[in-house]
Structure formats: structure tokens, C-alpha cells
Amino acid sequence: MSPSPLFRRHRVPALLLALAAAALAGCASKSPAPANYDFGPLPAAASTTAAAAKPAALVMADVSGPAALDSERMHYRLLYADAQQTRPYAYNHWSGTPLQLLTQRLKARVAQAGVKVLAPSDAAAGAMLLRVEVEEFAQTFSSASQSQGSIRLRASAFRNHQLLDQRTFARSSPAASADAGGGARALAEASDALSADLLAWLATLPAAAK
């Protein structure tokens, strides 16, 4: 026996409502796929510092900084809305903490320049010690569509427990896209530029007495 016309009239809207509810539930459950970022492959070395001026060996301590940078969260700052607040990306993270990524990158770039990188536990007498403290590390948006990766750090050079010099460095690199991926690439470029700045500065410091 076929369903009555009244049953068919009620069944069709109910079926449509069920399908619509299922579609909405599916859309609501679909969130952006999480992504992890690092600084990418090491770029080719740029010969900007004379080989004779570079220290033969350098003791590099791990980069230090605020507690907020000891986390894998990726942060950005809206300069046009609330410059005093940093906000985390919801679905994007660093593969390590910014402090770890900066430590690895700076050591790799210094070694790439031909300087032997030593750990504090392996320090030889008279070797220069470099300490780096990060003051700012963030993707900053000047508008909804334009951003840059900004890093500011303070570097201190010691020899035999005596301070040789201390200087603050800052670099910003424009992001190719206004998202986490663009910020990651911009911050990697800024870190590479800072590595070159540090090497040029270290080349101006007095060499160890023989």
C-alpha cells in the first residue's frame, strides 16, 4: 500500500530539514587544518665579512627571552587596532619555541660563515662568549592586508668574564602574505639579516690576546 498524500507532504520537508542539518553540522566540524612552521632551509652563505676579521671560534649560549616566547604558539600584533596586545593564531604553531628556532638559526649561520661554534661547556680559555636576549619576536600588521616579521634583540659579547660590548639589533622583513605562513617566512628572513648584523659587529671587537 503506497503512503497517503498527507504522509508524503510531511515526509519530504522533514527529509529536507534532516539533510540541511547534516550539511550544516559537516560545515561546522570542518576547521582549518593545523600547520607547524619553522625557518625553512638554510640560505646560501653571503660573504660580507672578511675572513681575517671573523673570530676563529665563538661560544654561543642559547637565546633567552620572555616567557611568551618559550612556547610553540605563533603570535601576531595588530598595530592598527591594538598595538599593545599580541594575539595567537588558532590553528598554526611553530615546530619549536621561537627561542629554540632562533638559537638553531643563529648558530647555523655563524658556523656557515666559517666560525667554530662552541657550547658554554666546551669553552676554551680566551674564547669570546655571545649571549643574545630577544626583546621582540612577532608578526606585526600595519593593516588587515599588510604585515611584517619583526625581531629585536640585545647581544652581549664577553671574554674572560669581562664585557667587551653590548648592542641592540632590530630587523623587520615584509610578509608576502597576510597569514601565518607569510609571517613565518618574514621572521626567518629577519633572523638571517640579524645573523649578518651580529657577524659584522663581532668582527669589530678586539681579538684575544696571544
- pLDDT band at 26, cuts 50/70/90? very low
Contacts of 138 by beta carbon, 8 Å cutoff, 6+ apart = 75, 76, 77, 86, 149, 150
pLDDT confidence tier of residue 123, bands split at 50, 70 and 90: low
Helix (H) or strand (E) holding 150: strand 147-159
Residues 6+ apart with CB under 8 A from 136: 150, 151, 152, 170
Q: How large is the average pLDDT for residues 165-192?
A: 97
C-alpha–C-alpha distance, residues 134 and 137, integer Å: 7
* More confident call, 52 vs 115: 115
> Is 134 in contact with 65 (CB distance < 8 Å)?
yes
DSSP 69-130: GSSSEEEEEETTT-TT-EEEEEEEEESS-HHHHHHHHHHHHHHHTTPEEE-GGGPPTT-EEE
**Among 121, 117, 152, 127, CA closest to 138:** 152
pLDDT at 25: 43
